[in-house]
């Protein structure tokens, strides 16, 4: 079982115990830091290749995912894989898009959608989820049909 050390920078512990690392790609990884086994990259343009399995979600800065259905599928897979793998979620700065995606993972993990942004701000970055439409996206993420995982609430 490959897991993050929850004391490391950017690692968010979800209520189930799953650990996910959020990161800003503009800041280089810390020397000696473990690599993820699976990464989800939230960018307007295709990211550079990495040495681990990864997915790219087209998600322009300060916006929402270009394909909400694909975003739900990729985030659900990330949440599932975080049970036993080192999953990384990253965008340019590591706050807006990354925070939004982490809040969606929190919803999948059972945090009520209306509380997920506060959860991520408390446990990951107090500036996470930067725009009103990103906050609204998280609230609606909890109410979307087929939300897959544990306890998602509207």
pLDDT by residue for the chain (154 residues), tens only, comes to: 688 999 999 999 999 999 999 999 998 888 888 999 999 999 999 999 999 999 999 999 989 999 999 999 999 999 999 999 999 999 999 999 999 999 999 999 999 999 999 999 999 999 999 999 999 999 999 875 444 444 333 2
Find the largest Cα–Cα distance for the chain: 42
Residue ranges of E strands in the chain: 11-13, 19-24, 38-43, 53-58, 87-91
Q: What is the pTM of this model?
A: 0.91
Residues 6+ apart with CB under 8 A from 86: 2, 3, 4, 19, 21, 34, 35, 36, 37, 38
Helix or strand (DSSP H, E) at 130: none
- Classify residue 91 by its DSSP letter: E
The owner of tokens 């699976």 is 38
Q: Give the chain's domains with CATH numbers.
A: 11-141 (3.90.190.10)
Residue 105 is encoded by which pair of tokens? 């993972």
């Amino acid at each position: 079982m490959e897991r993050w050390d929850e004391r490391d920078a950017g690692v968010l512990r979800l209520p189930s115990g799953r650990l996910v690392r959020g990161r800003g790609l503009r800041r280089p990884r810390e020397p000696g830091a473990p690599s993820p086994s699976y990464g989800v990259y939230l960018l307007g343009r295709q990211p550079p290749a990495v040495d681990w399995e990864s997915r790219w979600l087209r998600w322009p800065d300060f916006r929402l995912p270009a394909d909400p259905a694909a975003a739900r599928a990729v985030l659900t897979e990330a949440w599932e894989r975080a049970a036993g793998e080192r999953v990384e979620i990253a965008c340019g700065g590591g706050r807006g898009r990354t925070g939004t995606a982490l809040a969606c993972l929190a919803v999948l993990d059972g945090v009520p959608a209306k509380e997920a942004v506060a959860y991520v701000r408390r446990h990951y970055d107090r500036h996470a989820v930067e725009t009103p439409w990103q906050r609204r996206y998280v609230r609606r993420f909890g109410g979307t049909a087929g939300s897959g995982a544990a306890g998602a609430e509207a």
